[in-house]
A and B are shown apart, each in its own frame.
Chain A
């Protein structure tokens, strides 16, 4: 037995590992000598399950990856399938998708803000953040009937058209949201204790981030303005005006600032999307993978047959392989699909941003104090369901 250091399990059942991350720490007093992350406690074999599901059925699996940003996962997946099938999606659907993805980004960042602040001992921001997130959850619930796992997107468009109520609620939300973000900032941004806990902690510079493949707010906080919404626009993102917030230091504080400003930008995008919402179809009706309208099923026999075929057999995309990535709240979320022309994918590979970003953990905590580990894990913003899949 080594008597110089203490080996301590942080997780899987620990309040600040955001799920079931286990980190085995070697401690000298309170200083972390070494850290070994141990993942896999939440492994459900989603990638393998996908090989026995039709392309439509996989949509509900993607909800269960990053459950804090289910709609971003939906979006990444349907975009990948659409790319595989070379399908053109109507503009109205793309606008709604962008709005939903941005609202989901806000919801995810709000949850991150609340839990991260709570990890560092500030209780109250959690409740303020959840108040706004609750409004978003209500929007999702009104839209899809589900708060956490909407599964609202479909290959070729949406599950249903949106109504005036949705537009109105998004407007209401974005009207008040900037002021609410000011509230969080009042509590934290200039708070000397908050700054002393986060500044200079968990630093990863741009080079280290790029070498580790880190993306999303972590990369941007190190000063690299890489955002897939700008560099590879999808879902009409090139038609919206927004900025990519970046930091300089690449520490926990800058990650905080970047995410706070991202929330503001996301609210702007969502507002632009619902304000400029084009009229027209909300799904690529008529194309092979798209379900016929509910109305048609009542009196159109070919529609019923097509529906039956899509449900029982599934769609059959052409053979080939594609990769498509979107900017999820946590970074580059990519799906890699291999099709052999059959109704099930041969292989579905997810590139989860949390998993890749988590690789920086050991580098960030080595030589730091135990309390910094908590701050760093919070700032990576991991979702273990996505890390373990």
Chain B
């Protein structure tokens, strides 16, 4: 490995990282514009052509906002929590490929890596709620932790079917296994389960109980201002981007598609999945907390087990 190699490698990584951050920023805009159209309004369209500079304006605004720390907060954890939330999500993108070659690291245990890192995000939220010295934050943080870990189980189980079919835990390998037929056809139940679970993991309506403003003001984010809040906001959208990527990679054939270059296909699918999330958000009310928890353990978990066993049995029988 020469120095030039390493420099090129680092440059690659920086480029991928910037692409991820840019996408995250523009997903906020996409969500707001889309929601606007669903709701008979325009959404932000004043900053730049069609509102294209809105995310930048938001970032600058947040940067200059008053950076407050609530009294009697546990200052260390209070400041660290947003960073944990953001870094744990961003780190996941290290194994997410945009094409067989555009990836930071194609590791053979990518799915395990994702599972491990995305669980870390719970710490950010739990610590934020706990260190804020605020009752809404505390309740919101506890709710969040319980919700996230409850949906982690069916989420993880719902992709076991994919792993069986692909015979690989590398994301590149999983997409390569879908070159003929997308897994959404072979794994319809797994696809639905995964979709439901990632909406819960990313706090999307109808599972946005962590920060539901109508009950807990802003949940664990209540006491956060300025860029500390901004980091949570970025983490949330990074999480949604990750979820959309994973849905596309696991079930929708990833970058497989005719004519267009591979990354464009993936991008198109990611936007499609994201639009689906926005549509759901515009349509549904929010479930209640006890219903939410019951749904995960009593409905999703048994279904995920059934899906897994049927997939395994069929695979063994056919091979």
Instruction: Please report A residues at the B interface, Cβ cutoff 8 Å.
Output: 6, 8, 14-16, 27, 30, 117-124, 126-128, 131, 187-188, 191, 193-194, 196-197, 369-374
Contacts and interface: CB of A to CB of B under 8 A. Distances in A.
B192 to A, nearest CB: 15
Given A16-B215, A193-B287, A8 B40 contact: no
A30 B139 CA distance: 8
Given A6-B139, A191-B284, A369-B288, 14 more contacts: A6-B135, A8-B135, A8-B136, A15-B217, A122-B286, A124-B283, A127-B39, A127-B40, A127-B41, A193-B206, A194-B285, A196-B287, A370-B289, A372-B288
B152 interface: no
A122 B284 CA distance: 5
A301 B195 CA distance: 79
B35 interface: yes
A350 to B, nearest CB: 29
A162 to B, nearest CB: 29
B286 A14 contact: no
B283 A371 contact: no
Contacts of B281: 123
A264 B284 CA distance: 24
Nearest to B291: A196
B285 A369 contact: no
Nearest to B138: A6
A121 B291 contact: no
A124 B135 contact: no
For B35, B214, B281, B284, which residue has the most chain A Cβ atoms within 10 angstroms? Answer: B214
Contacts of A188: 285
Nearest to A118: B214
B38 interface: yes
Closest 6 CB pairs of A and B: A121-B286, A127-B39, A122-B285, A16-B214, A121-B285, A120-B285
Contacts of A372: 288
A193 B40 contact: no
Contacts of B213: 15
A122 B282 CA distance: 7
Nearest to B143: A30
B236 interface: no
A128 B283 CA distance: 12
B40 A197 contact: no
A145 to B, nearest CB: 26
Interface in B228-282: 281-282
A27 B143 CA distance: 14
Contact of A193 (B41, B286, B289): B286
Contacts of B283: 122, 124, 187
A133 B105 CA distance: 55
Contacts of A119: 214
B282 to A, nearest CB: 5
A203 B310 CA distance: 44
Given A14-B217, A120-B214, A123-B282, A197 B288 contact: yes
A6 B287 CA distance: 23
For A8, A118, A127, which residue has the most chain B Cβ atoms within 10 angstroms? Answer: A127
Contacts of A30: 139, 143, 289-290
Contacts of A117: 285
A180 to B, nearest CB: 12
A128 B39 CA distance: 7
A191 B135 contact: no
For B215, B284, B289, which residue has the most chain A Cβ atoms within 10 angstroms? Answer: B215
B212 interface: yes
B205 interface: yes
Contacts of B291: 196
A126 B287 CA distance: 18
A315 B236 CA distance: 64
Contacts of A373: 215
B215 A371 contact: yes
A126 B216 CA distance: 20
B208 interface: yes
A197 B285 contact: yes
A374 B286 CA distance: 12
Nearest to B41: A127
A127 B37 CA distance: 11
Contacts of A118: 214
Nearest to A126: B39
A14 B214 CA distance: 8
Contacts of A6: 135, 139
A124 B38 contact: yes
A218 B139 CA distance: 31
Nearest to A130: B40
25 contacts: A8-B135, A8-B139, A15-B214, A15-B217, A30-B139, A119-B214, A121-B284, A121-B285, A122-B283, A122-B284, A122-B285, A126-B39, A127-B40, A131-B40, A191-B284, A193-B284, A193-B287, A196-B287, A196-B288, A369-B288, A369-B289, A370-B215, A371-B215, A372-B288, A374-B215
